[in-house]
């Protein structure tokens, strides 16, 4: 049969060090891997970048964290990619990103080791906090039809995506398609996306920001409750694989196959993008070049979003709440509170209301009360002293992703009302 897409896969053949500690020999092995998937998927870097091209590279920082955390773009991969691009004599190489939750992107780049890579390679750092935007209309009558796009992407000759291979509690996986979520300007637009229509919104972002090529970094990878799971077993530090292709839907389908999930290509984001004509999600239509999937696949645990009866001393009253929104934001916070020992030291029950609450309303909750998200706001009538996490003058849209921020978020709040003995 004739293939509709091509994805190249490779794995390390030598020691490649770690994201926060590697030498020239180890970087050369990573560079060999990048060259291998560029050759296999596109016929070489010379077919991706031409002399004089203005190149934009979209990375994944998520939040400020140490490069060894494994949750952000691996400095080894970024440095190897830039070195290979530089061999083609481009006009410029720019690194772009918008950090999650509206945090300072340059601070995140510093923490993740990206600033050091830029200094060594001469690439220009261009946080999307400080660029020009223009409105884009998909022309499709669905949610998120009109939204801002960065002019730096639209004006680039070459746009390369460097996603990190992770299971994602909001969207199943984060890979080529989800990478474009970091192409939004601020907290407002990111919060607008975290609802049940997130899959269409990610698809629309890919319609607007068409990448030339995607190279997926999975030297380190994340399973379970990613994208930055607090559980140590969710971080995989010995995967040492990368894969690449032009078709983001095909790349994500291969991701699901490498994660050894049943029926690859059926993750909701992948299906939505395929149905919108962005590529193929049928594995039999994808030509695999290099390492066969069978040689690299490993069973990845999927995200666990359960809320009721999971955490001792915590009663989560779940109404009709957005799965990619309030439900998983509450779960992420409770995961962190469990791992850091806060839930274990609490003396009083904790009740969290989230989602639309239906009759009969729960009016006899005990202990500390939290009302989470605008849909649950009615519960403030019964619990006027409850802590409310929802939209406000400062953070206008719901879902309240601001609740994941340090100092003002759900985790520090519960920590503050759970004193150590």
* Number of structural domains the chain divides into: 2
What is the reported pLDDT for 19? 95
Q: Is the dihedral of CA 180, 199, 300, 326 positive or negative?
A: positive
> Are residues 120 and 262 located together in one domain of the fold?
yes
Domain final position from 247, 263, 296: 296
**Are residue 254 and residue 352 in the same domain, yes or no?**
no
Q: Is 82 in the same domain as 116?
A: yes
Q: Answer yes or no: is 308 within a domain.
A: no
Statement to judge: residues 269 and 392 lie in one domain: no
pLDDT of the residue at 142 = 85
Residues 320 and 273 in one domain: no
Would 55 be classed as within a structural domain? yes
Cβ-based neighbours of 112, under 8 Å, separated by 6 or more: 61, 64, 65, 66, 67, 72, 73, 75
Q: Are residues 254 and 363 in the same domain?
A: no
Query: Does any domain span residue 31?
Result: yes
For residue 405, the model assigns a pLDDT of: 76
* Residue 304 within a domain: no
- Does a structural domain hold residue 290? yes
Structural domain containing residue 60 = 5-296
SS3 156: coil
Same domain, 291 and 319: no
Co-location of 244 and 331 in the same domain: no
Task: Examine the domain organization and report whether 219 and 326 are in the same domain.
Answer: no
Please check whether residue 421 lies inside any domain of the structure: no
**The pLDDT of residue 398:** 85
Residue 110 domain-assigned (yes or no): yes
Enter the pTM of the model. 0.96
Same structural domain, 56 and 162 = yes
Residue 306 lies in a domain: no
Task: Work out the angle at residue 226's Cα, subtended by the Cα atoms of residues 224 and 231, and round it to the nearest 5 degrees.
Answer: 65
Residues 344 and 280 in one domain: no
Residue 148 CB burial class (10 angstroms; 0-12, 13-18, ≥19): middle
Residue by residue, pLDDT tens for the chain (421 residues) are: 689 999 999 999 999 999 999 999 999 999 999 999 999 999 999 999 999 999 999 999 877 888 888 889 999 999 999 999 999 999 999 999 998 766 789 999 999 999 999 999 999 999 999 899 999 999 988 888 999 999 999 999 999 999 999 999 999 999 999 999 999 988 788 877 888 889 999 999 999 999 999 999 999 999 999 998 999 999 999 999 999 999 999 999 999 999 999 999 999 999 999 999 999 999 999 999 999 999 999 999 999 999 999 999 999 999 998 888 899 999 999 999 999 999 999 999 999 999 998 768 899 998 999 999 999 999 999 999 999 999 888 888 887 887 877 778 999 999 999 988 7
Boundary-marking domain end, from 262, 296, 330: 296
Indicate whether 117 and 229 sit together in one domain. Answer: yes
Instruction: Report DSSP letters for 20-85, one per residue.
Output: TB--HHHHHHHHHHHHHHHHHHHSSGGGT--TT-EEEEE----SS--GGGSSS--HHHHHHHHHHH
User: Of 296, 327, 346, which residue constitutes the final position of a domain?
Assistant: 296
Spatial separation of the C-alpha atoms in residues 32 and 240, rounded to whole Å: 13
N-terminal to C-terminal alpha carbon distance within the chain: 68
| Distance, CA of 96 to CA of 82 (rounded, Å) | 13
pLDDT of residue 102: 63
Residue 415 DSSP one-character state:
H
Tell me the CATH number at 95.
3.40.50.11440
Angstrom distance (rounded) from CA 393 to CA 262: 44
Check residue 304 and give its pLDDT.
Answer: 95
């Amino acid at each position: 049969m004739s293939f509709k897409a091509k994805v190249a896969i490779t794995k390390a053949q030598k020691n490649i060090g770690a994201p926060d500690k590697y030498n020239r020999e180890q970087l050369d092995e990573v560079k060999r891997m990048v060259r291998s998937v560029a050759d296999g998927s596109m016929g070489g870097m010379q077919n991706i970048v031409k002399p004089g091209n203005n190149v934009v590279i979209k990375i994944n920082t998520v939040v400020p964290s140490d490069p060894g955390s494994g949750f952000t773009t691996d400095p080894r991969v970024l440095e190897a990619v830039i070195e290979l691009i530089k061999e083609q004599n481009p006009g410029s190489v720019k690194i772009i990103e918008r950090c999650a939750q509206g945090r300072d992107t340059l601070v995140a780049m510093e923490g993740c080791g990206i600033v050091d890579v830029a200094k060594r390679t001469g690439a220009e750092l261009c946080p999307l906090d400080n660029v020009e935007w223009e409105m884009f209309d998909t022309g499709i009558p669905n949610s998120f039809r009109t939204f801002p796009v960065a002019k730096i992407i639209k004006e680039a000759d070459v746009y390369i995506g460097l996603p990190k291979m992770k299971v994602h509690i909001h969207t199943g996986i984060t890979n080529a398609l989800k990478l474009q979520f970091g192409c939004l300007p601020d907290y407002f637009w990111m919060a607008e996306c975290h609802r049940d229509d997130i899959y269409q919104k990610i698809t629309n972002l890919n319609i607007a920001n068409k990448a030339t090529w995607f190279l997926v970094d999975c030297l380190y990878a994340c399973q379970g409750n990613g994208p930055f799971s607090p559980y140590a077993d969710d971080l995989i530090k010995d995967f040492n694989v990368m894969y690449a292709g032009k078709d983001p839907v095909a790349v994500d389908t291969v991701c699901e196959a490498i994660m050894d999930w049943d029926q690859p290509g059926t993750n909701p984001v992948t299906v939505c993008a395929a149905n919108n004509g962005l590529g193929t999600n049928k594995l039999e239509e994808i030509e695999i070049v290099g390492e066969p999937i069978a040689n690299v696949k490993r069973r990845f645990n999927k995200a666990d979003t359960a809320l009721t009866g999971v955490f001792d001393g915590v009663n989560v009253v779940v109404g009709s709440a957005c799965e990619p929104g309030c439900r998983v934001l509450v779960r992420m916070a409770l995961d962190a509170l469990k791992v850091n020992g806060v839930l274990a030291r609490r003396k009083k029950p904790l009740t969290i209301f989230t989602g639309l609450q239906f009759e009969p309303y729960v009016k006899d909750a005990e202990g500390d009360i939290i009302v989470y998200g605008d849909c649950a706001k009615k519960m403030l009538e019964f619990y006027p002293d409850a802590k409310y996490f929802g939209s406000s003058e400062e953070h206008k849209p719901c879902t309240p992703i601001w609740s994941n921020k340090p100092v003002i978020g759900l985790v520090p709040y519960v920590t503050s009302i759970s004193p150590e003995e």
